[in-house]
Amino acid sequence: MNRIKEVLEQKGIKQIWLAEQLGKSYNMVNSYAQNRRQPSLEDLYKIAEILGISVKELLVDKNKDAE
């Protein structure tokens, strides 16, 4: 699970803009944002860099949800 959609909304960034920055299709980025697909580690690092945050901030800690 990732927080891409949440982070994009917080920063006021559109998925289409992120897709252009990544060199990916809108549909691919939308799949990441909807958690239908998970980005590769390489893409996850690129997304974090583009958004100016750490990779850790893009990930959901499932253990925290269980507490």
- Residue 24: closest CA among 6, 10, 42: 42
Q: State which H helix or E strand residue 34 sits in.
A: none
Q: Which residues contact 65 (CB under 8 A, 6 or more apart)?
A: none
Strand-pairing partners, residue 26, are: none
- Domain definitions of the chain by residue range: 4-59
Name the class of domain 4-59.
mainly alpha
pTM for the structure as a whole = 0.87
- Residue type (1 letter), 54: S
Give the C-alpha separation, 33 to 31, whole Å.
5
| Per-residue pLDDT tens digits for 6-38 | 999 999 999 999 999 999 999 999 999 999 999
